[in-house]
Structure 1
């Protein structure tokens, strides 16, 4: 699989549908590492996260007869929001499987679209497996939030924009859930500028990709509650993202819930932005391992903005 070529094809396919998101310099974080830190604001992408890129690429690649029949996906929220928005643009319908504990804010955002919502399981991997079973039983196409070359390639278009926006990036720090975003960006930079290092970050409460890499295979493990709900949960068996992460991601950083909370407070105070917990993983990782990034030019991927008022209040008021 040549990810670099797939990403460039995706860039041509989806460019009319997506925003080129801003790259914002952070004077505060730059001072922290005595280097240069920029925030890639995928929180300002259509639908509120990078997920819009991948699902747009996938849906535009499907035959019209498939779209007319209807498609199915599973999501913790952001992929579902992107799926709903692009389906609405294409005037097609779909079904979304969600975990029973998905955030209220993400569910409410989906209710504005003509999609059917089904709730199953507590861990996202349970939800994904049930969605796949349902799709097979009803002869419909299931679209994975990450285990799909078209999804991966769409997310990788973030890398194309970074290549246009900033020269000679030393490190890109990227949140990891199922691994679609980091796989796409890492695969693109492998062809564009292999000197750029790719670092992945996960919450200590749900480090499934990290532990799978350590084990040399995709493992099942319990995920605890985390502010980074967008990256929480298991990985689909046989996911293509595992091999990419194993080959191209050389550094993994795990952060605590307190470190995520402090990162969220920081971005509100220093950048006047409200983002979701998963978007704070890259900031928390930079602060935790700041000695690694001294004097470097670093990009932090701010992956999404959807956070409930209740969750935001719990962070700010504690």
Structure 2
């Protein structure tokens, strides 16, 4: 039997990984291993390593990128590949996808955020409502909704940040996530923030439900995934979650392409994740 290891968050991570571990054991077998990415040891014994639960890696960036270098040096069989993980760790990849013709939420990057950067972005985007987030982030860490003339929060002033126009549809309709395993569509969900918020994470009061794909959503998802594969020169990605919403004109725009440790919401898949359970061993052959 092939040996599979799933990398998990550091031991002190605040979320309970128990349900996710149980789900992956159901899909991939009770004998799969789990190791903390921060103390993974020698991974050479495994036929495939999956970084599916490395939640919180963005809180220790230097260690994370050093770990990726180590995986690459040791030629660890990991999916998605190290080149993908490194590229996808920094959300400036959105600009590369935009250059490749993918419709993304308009994005500017400031290397050291100032009030004048916010004013410039407001003018560029034609809105006084903006969202800032760190280029390396997850779980809404460091993400703020700002008015054009609002003082910058201390924790982000002078730091590298992405600046985007706030998208009202996040509160009105929600954010769609589409899931692909070995290039095949599996399922979709609609995530909604708590009333008065714009962040959709469950621990912040957000919720999700299964949904059919609206017209145009799959076209954007496939375009984004294939553009990433072409940019990186890699084979079809083993797994991908594509997050998107509608802009004020009603067109879908990519928010994020999640290729490292996305929650995959198998409970909303018609097959409860069986397609993923088949895709992983198929990759080994």
- TM-score, L = length of structure 1: 0.29
Higher helix share: 1
**Radius of gyration: which is bigger?**
2
- TM-score, L = length of structure 2: 0.31
